[in-house]
Chains A and B, each alone.
Chain A
Amino acid sequence: MIDLSIVISGAAGEGIQTIGDVIVRCVLAHGYAVFSTQEYESRIRGGHSSYWLRVTETPRNAPRSNADVLLALNGRAAEHYAPLVDGRGWTLRPSGGGARIVPITYRKLAEDAGSALYANSVAAGALCAVIGIPFAILEPVLRRAFVRHGEAIADANVRAARAGFEQAHERLGDRAAAELPARDARYVRAGTHNAIPLAAAAAGCRFMSAYPMSPSTGIITALARDPELGVLVEQAEDEIAALQMALGASAAGVRAMTATSGGGFALMVEGLSLAGMIETPVIIVLAQRPGPATGLPTRTAQEDLLFAIHAGHGEFVRAVFAPSDPQSAADLTVRAFDLADRYQIPVIILTDQLLADAQFSLERFSIPEASIERRFADPESIDAYRRFERTETGVSPRLYFGQSEHLICLDSDEHTENGHITEDLAGVRRPMVEKRLAKSRALRAEIAAPEHDRIEDAEIVLIGWGSTQRAIREAVDEFRKAGRAIGRIHFTELWPLPELDAPGVQCVTVEGNATGQLARLLRAELGWSIDRTISRFDGLPIDAQTIVGGLE
């Protein structure tokens, strides 16, 4: 069974992403599944960064934390990342020797091909030779990558790659690092932060405002880069304005969204509460990174679960989702827009840096046929319109600004059914609070139960949420192979929590935070007894080894 972990490392600005992307395409074209992640520092040039690829026959889509092959573009990277490579691993580096070291003269070969700029193609060629990908696979991928710069540039890059490929072959001699026989399988390459904007556009989103913040920025960028998707995007002056603009657009009847990370979400919190008060739908993607404060801007964490659930002054209804992969992100984004409209509430989608940067290989990927039924009231059928009319379900007939001659009054103050400011405590405040909160009853009943996997005979249940799903599944596979009765439960719809019976066996949450936020939520809301938490909060993703080691 092939399970090859490749780390491409260098300084920021050296182009490791270009190499990684080329190798991902080669691996897919060769019939393998590949899961890629990135690890980098918060800087524009220099430092250390790396692009991780995990090549398997069938999709695993979970990170590994060691390397079978390390490609280092410079000597410093080779030293920095050397601890990832165990005794059986291979290292490609600019110079040096040793049993499993393959020196590649990136710069010289690139200059021979025409320019030092082609060093990345030399590296890609050398890497293909080491992992057993034929040059015939690499060449068309490279041509496609460079053809927009002209035939001459594409030719030069192919020459450079061939030189790297041949040098690696020559220096490997009869040693072979990996064998990758060609396969017929073809997988879909999908990223969560590509799936969300695509699903949003499919769901009829027409407005997105955001302030750039890692790791969320890719979402608005994807929509800005692809104007055919029909979403008007605006870079706001701050996250406060980003959410306020989205709410203004939504009040004018537009499906609207924003995206940010924890610090930006903190600025949005007053607007979240406003959305609750004026019962105006909006979608907020909260791409988590380690905090507190600025924390580690380019690393991953699951530290904002309780923040997302509890953020906002006062009491109001919201939904909080945490997709586990691009497909669940697509499904939940479409669902978020639908639920936000139907209940007239804000919906928060939690992702993280791992999901933001990881590219998955999937057997299939689809965007659900979206419900873009907007559920506005029919202005013709209304005599005297009241935006906040009290109803059994708490959901009032919704019209938008400018839709008809009916006037819409939205007020952040406590308000009458007409939306006008009031301090009528007995006659208005109580019933309006009850009306707004009444929406949670039906909403809760719609929330999907968590995924259950092999819990019938389990003695221990691992409970996770969001991005850790594949890593936990892989850990359970390993435990099962070793004869241990371990199962798992995975949440992607986290608020409001549905009624759920406790598994009745030992429960261990697996979380990318230090305080066991899911454990606290399950105890407080469902009365579950959680025995312990396996935590990772060093900024790196949870992998199966972390979980297996954590349970021992």
Chain B
Amino acid sequence: MIRIEEYRSDVENQWCPGCPNFGILAAIKRALAALDLPPHRVCLVSGIGQAAKLPHYLKCNLFNGLHGRAVPVATAIRLAHPGLTTIVTSGDGCVYGEGGNHLLHAFRRNPDITVVVHDNRIYALTKGQGAPTTRRGVKTRLQFDGVSSDHAQMLATAVAHDCPFVARGFAGDLDGLTEILREAIAHRGLSLVDVIQPCITWGPHSVDWYRERIAPLPADYDPADRTAAIESALENGTPLPTGVLYRREDRPTFEETARARFGDRPLAELPPIDRSLIDQRIAAMRSGGSD
């Protein structure tokens, strides 16, 4: 079995002391250990922001790319290498804002990756501007009179697109989040986990404020019920339910379809194509072009 210590990275952590991101980091390590995934079988992909630095703080393969672009990168890595557990860890500004279009199309493709969104409802690294998740009216360091747009409803959008695993977690609940992430990573197909991660520096609310406004889904909740899932996913009031909001097992994955001709081997390890295939096509050009 893999021990949690094996994911320990010696890169100096740049997060604020006490940041709930530490809770997400700990939960990811625990989930990976619970799934017995060694670091070299894991690839973390992130964009830009404080959340996007997470891959450096966990010993594994990492692609810390550009703002908003983690999802297409992760999609291609997983497509190219079926043996890599591929997880996006980035903030709400990165995944829902700058990268919103990629996420929308990931819902359609259904790659077998997990997208963990650190949802702090604020742009923290750029010092306190509104995020797509910031509520209308919240005063920020740029929207001085309050945000004038409504917040994005990305979890409900995910359910609407039949994203096969949609969950909401809370960074202040290590056990609950670990379990959600373990299930998300193990789930076949795209898993979206929105993690409420209060920013202790730029707000708008404290960890305790959120703790009072979330509630685990009831024991008899049926995650296969899509209508109920849309209801639970919409963020219109409190309490916000946490747990697996929506789940289905039978949607074909992107890899199953796109890789059908290529078998289970990593694309990088396929032998060169037969040269005669090239020569046949050149021969057709000699007779005036292929039909």
Contacts and interface: CB of A to CB of B under 8 A. Distances in A.
A, B assembled together:
yes
A48 to B, nearest CB: 25
A248 B272 contact: no
Interface stretch (B122-130, B190-198, B229-237, B278-286): B278-286
A454 interface: no
Interface stretch (A4-12, A122-130, A185-193): A185-193
Contact of A421 (B11, B76, B81, B259): B11
Given A232-B79, A248-B63, A365-B282, A402 B270 contact: no
B73 A402 contact: no
Given A253-B80, A372-B272, A421-B11, A245 B267 contact: no
A98 B26 CA distance: 87
A201 B75 contact: no
Interface residues of A, number: 72
Main SS at interface, chain B: helix
Interface string A361-378: 000011101001010000
Interface stretch (B17-25, B36-44, B174-182): B36-44
B61 A232 contact: no
A201 B273 contact: yes
A41 interface: no
B121 interface: no
A450 B281 CA distance: 30
A306 B53 CA distance: 35
Given A232-B267, A238-B101, A252 B62 contact: no
* Interface of A (DSSP majority class): mixed
A406 B41 CA distance: 10
Interface stretch (B64-72, B139-147, B162-170): B64-72
A412 B273 contact: no
B80 A248 contact: yes
A252 B268 contact: yes
A411 interface: yes
B86 to A, nearest CB: 9
Nearest to B103: A237
B213 interface: no
B83 interface: yes
A251 B56 contact: no
Contacts of B65: 244, 247, 274, 278, 410, 412
Interface string B1-23: 00000000001001000000000
Given A252-B77, A252-B84, A421-B64, A189 B289 contact: yes
Interface in B97-112: 101-102, 104-105
Nearest to A204: B272
Given A25-B289, A407-B39, A412 B48 contact: yes
Contacts of A236: 72
Given A249-B80, A407-B61, A244 B259 contact: no
A63 to B, nearest CB: 19
B80 A207 contact: yes
Interface of B: 11, 14, 38-41, 43, 45, 48, 53, 55-56, 59-66, 69, 72-77, 79-81, 83-84, 101-102, 104-105, 258-259, 261-262, 266-270, 272-273, 275, 277-278, 281-282, 285-286, 288-289, 291
The 10 A-B residue pairs whose C-beta atoms are closest, nearest first, are A253-B268, A248-B76, A252-B80, A248-B73, A237-B105, A241-B72, A245-B76, A244-B72, A25-B288, A402-B81
Given A253-B266, A421-B64, 16 more contacts: A28-B288, A186-B286, A188-B282, A189-B286, A230-B261, A232-B261, A234-B258, A240-B72, A241-B69, A245-B76, A248-B72, A252-B267, A274-B65, A402-B83, A407-B61, A419-B62
